[in-house]
Amino acid sequence: MEYLCVDTTAKMTKTAKSRLEGLRAEIARRAGRRVTQREVLDHLIAIASEDPASQAAAFAIFSHVVLALPYLVAGPLAAIAMKLSLADIVFLRRAREEAVETAPA
């Protein structure tokens, strides 16, 4: 593998840094040798660049799921706060009430 000597840094969250370190430690344990974080990142980049379209699609799906999580959590919490039942949310109660009103006596 050819290395180009360029000093770069990758800014990441503490969680990502911790996960990278855990991955590095697991790889080092299995390989039976010291492995640097740079080697792990180089390997991850090499894998991702073999099929960039599928990696980009996977990232896009992940991003959309993460962006939708607040709505998926806030919606049910708002319904509970407003004391709504499932029938109120999917309009089942109105359909039953209208059916009773229009039924012949």
Taking only the tens place, the pLDDT of each residue in 46-99 is 988 898 898 899 989 989 988 999 988 898 899 899 998 888 777 766 555 565
Give which of 60, 56, 37 is closest to 48, Cα–Cα.
Answer: 56
Judge contact between 76 and 88, C-beta under 8 A: no
Q: What does pTM read for this prediction?
A: 0.52
Residue-level pLDDT at 88: 79
| Residue 24, pLDDT above cutoff 90 | yes
Residue-level pLDDT at 87: 80
